[in-house]
Structure 1
Amino acid sequence: MTRSYCLVDGKEHTTWFSKEGDITFGLLCLYHNKAGFEFVETVEPTLAYSVPIHVLNELYDTNIEIANWGRVIHQECLLALQCVRIDNLTMTAKERYEALLKTFPDICQRVNLGYIASFLGISISTLSRIRAEL
């Protein structure tokens, strides 16, 4: 499992989690080959594969199936990001936590609770209170 995060005033803010079989990347790094504002770290022992951006772009240029695969992956990522953004605007913290558990049922056993609270935009004490209610 991995988590993506950004630094704001020296504090880490979790922006995403990825599990087995997922593709994870920093957007600025992927699209512009520049160090980005988002970092990806493993939170468990992980076997990861990396494809340099110039190799990926060459594959996109020469293989329509891979290009379409990449397009579909990015469409799904964009949709998931938009759903999280809208959920953050329309759902209570408890509802956001429940939605996270639907995607990652075992996340509390695999990830530091502080990372989960950060992702949900709540304090650890609020997360603890929500977990106790459930």
Structure 2
Amino acid sequence: MAVQDFEVKTIFFYYLFPVIALLLLLRVLKYLKPRLLACGCNAIETFVLCSVRNTEKVLQEVKRVLKPGGKFFFMDHVAAEHSSSLRWFQNRLNPLWKAAADDCHINREIASTINKIGFSSVEVNQFNLNTFIVLIKPSIYGTSVK
């Protein structure tokens, strides 16, 4: 029975999961393609800025490589509101979380960092990620234009 479980997991992770991921990616690209091709060079970031060492440096590089009018689409989990109990827990658990989640920070204020970089316009929308992991529920998505 253990051999069968191993075979099922192997089939899923090596054959089915990449196909499912590719189909989802194609679906997203089909939706974004008209928007992306409309204004030249664009950049997309999803749940990356939480894990980079220097968020400002990465965002400055994104801005540098974008053509004038180019858009930066982003989505990431962020720190909860300053006075909330969730923010208190995020700050206390961040060192442990970073060690367990490949240097992911659960208490970064990514929206304010994006605003500091100096894009010509920034649109940020807040939402709660649909997950049982309460620490990463506060999230943002939006668009910045060079």
Structure-1-length-normalised TM-score: 0.29
Q: Which has the larger radius of gyration?
A: 2
Higher strand proportion, which one? Answer: 2
Q: Which has the higher helix share?
A: 1
